Structure 1
Amino acid sequence: MSTTSHRQALVLGASRGLGLVLAHELARRGWRVIATTRRDGGELQANAAARNGQLTVESLEMTSVEQLAALRERLEGRRIDLLFVNAAIDRGDLPIHDVPTDMFTEVMVTNALSPLRALEALRGLVVPGGTVAVMSSEQGSIARNTEDGYELYKASKAALNQLMRSYATRHAGDGHTKLLIDPGHNRTQLGGPDAPLAPQESIPAVVDVLEAQAGAPGLQFLDRLGETVPW
């Protein structure tokens, strides 16, 4: 990984919630951050304007293969120490037999397929010894699926974890640290107002884990405290 003053991160999905706080926290620690959003303006753009080039914003709809390819072309020649993919939607608490097919497809494409497409499209920018990481969830843990509810969301995160395992197997020799991160249940649009954690509490801990694990071999599924989450 590059020296502290030259570390560069690419954070996909940073317009709000955990991704927004992650981009801000990395920049606060001295990383140069490229952060993506689907829409112009908003808090991410305001943060970028206040950071005098340390945080820059790129437009990306992550479910679009064409936009991923265009982003890759725009970033040609950049050396990225951390590629972090943050993408998730939830369409409510329905038992799986009541989930419409189009809803199932939308959630699986956004939460599982698109993050892996993004890694494949952008992994060539990551330096030897760099890190590729994806925001997962404890709800993707099959071992811990012992309570009712949110079956589609849980399935999408379990699928994400499985696809990341396949990615790690296929690219076992590339020298990249590979991480699935469970940030805990946070008060975001996705997590809801009654969640026990605030992103401003959990994300600094997540960045501690990202920095501590830099250079570690293989794939790990870790929580915000660096503890292993069971598959």
Structure 2
Amino acid sequence: MPTILITGAGRGIGLEFARQYAAAGWRVLGTVRDPLAGRPLSDAGGEVYVADVADPASVARLKGALAGVQLDVVLNNAGIYGQDQSFGSVDADAFMAVMRTNALAPLKVAEAFADQLTGRKVIATITSLMGSIAENSSGNFYAYRASKAAANMVMKTLALDLGSRGITAIAVSPGWVRTDMGGAEAPLSPAEAVSGMRAVLDKVSLNDSGKFFHFDGSELPW
């Protein structure tokens, strides 16, 4: 049975990933920050682990809890949007909190679990088109944009550092999705976005390592 570790699997895109992978016969290991938020993940067929991936000590404890588990895919989904990010009102501490969750956490999770990857050997991070420097035509959203651009750089660097181990590392954008973060006006349902991203994860190989994909399979500019 193939196995996937999904961070931030208690709601939204992460929970939909858990539902779809469990329905496809995968063993799904999912993290939530609050144990009270684990019921939807459990109902979806996932195994619930409490971890705050923005805290390296919590990631280390998660590694201990999953010692010896062989993983096919590590999916860094956990992410936060942050507070007011318009020019002139960016709070420094809030900015760094977004960076810790969105950019540092995928690196620390990769460090923790790279040695447990077998089979597919894929590390993927859910980033955003808002992390593309080339596609930034509207400004604003400083912390979120910077954190996703940093996450993209983390994945590109992991691709170089882990390629000799046969590990594929990619960044994936879900598009604009109707979640708590995306809002009710977003055009995509979680099911549509996740179905597309799963197709990307299913087909990527070592030749794709270090690339940035949209949910529809197209490659995005950095």
Provide TM-score, normalisation by structure 2: 0.93
Alpha-carbon distance in 2 for matches of 1:15, 1:48: 9
The 3 A distance-change label for structure 1 pair 149 and 28 is same
1:76 is aligned, of 67, 73, 79, to 67
- Corresponding residue number in structure 2 for 1:16: 11
Q: Deviations over 1:68-98 (max 9, x none)?
A: 1111111111110011011221124533442
Residues 1:48 and 2:39 aligned together: no
Q: CA deviation at 1:201?
A: 1.4
CA 1:50–1:145 in structure 2 vs 1: closer, same or farther (change >3 Å)? Answer: closer
Q: Which residue identity lines up with residue 32 of structure 2 in the other structure? A: T
1:201 aligns with 2:195: no
Distance in 1 between residues matched to 2:25 and 2:184, nearest whole Å: 31
Deviation at 1:174, TM superposition (A): 1.3
Shift of 1:217: 4.8
2: CA distance, partners of 1:215 / 1:31: 22
Q: Secondary structure at the match of 2:172?
A: strand
Residue 108 of structure 1 pairs with residue 99 of structure 2: yes
Matched position secondary structure for 1:149? coil
- For residue 31 of structure 1, report the CA deviation from its aligned partner: 0.8
**Consecutive unaligned residues in structure 1, runs of 5 or more:** 1-5
Q: How many positions carry a matched residue from both structures? A: 222
Identity %: 33
Unmatched segments (≥5 aa) in structure 2: none
CA positional deviation for 1:48: 2.1
Q: Give the corresponding residue for 1:117.
A: 108
How far has the Cα of 1:47 moved from its partner?
4.5
Which residue of 53, 60, 68 corresponds with 2:51?
60
Any conservation in 2 of the 1:129–1:175 contact (CA below 8 Å)?
A: no
SS at match of 1:127: strand
Stretch moving more, 96-105 or 204-213: 96-105
Q: Distance in 1 between matches of 2:100 and 2:24?
A: 33
The alignment yields a C-alpha RMSD, in angstroms, of 1.7
Question: Alpha carbons of 1:71 and 1:172: their partners in 2 closer, same or farther (altered >3 Å)?
Answer: same
AA partner of residue 136 (structure 1): T
Q: Separation in 2 of the partners of 1:50 and 1:182?
A: 23
1:37 to 24, 32, 39: 32
Write out per-residue CA displacement over residues 107-140 of structure 1, whole angstroms, 9 at most, x where no aligned residue.
Answer: 1111111121111111111115411100011110
For the residues of structure 2 that align with 1:92 and 1:47, how far apart are their CA atoms?
27
Q: Distance in 1 between matches of 2:87 and 2:152?
A: 19
Q: TM-score, normalised on structure 1?
A: 0.90
TM-superposition CA deviations, 1:43-65 (whole Å, max 9, x none)? x42452564xxx21111111121
Aligned-residue offset at 1:172: 2.5
Distance 1:57 1:66 in 2: 18
Displacement after TM superposition at 1:191 (Å) = 1.1
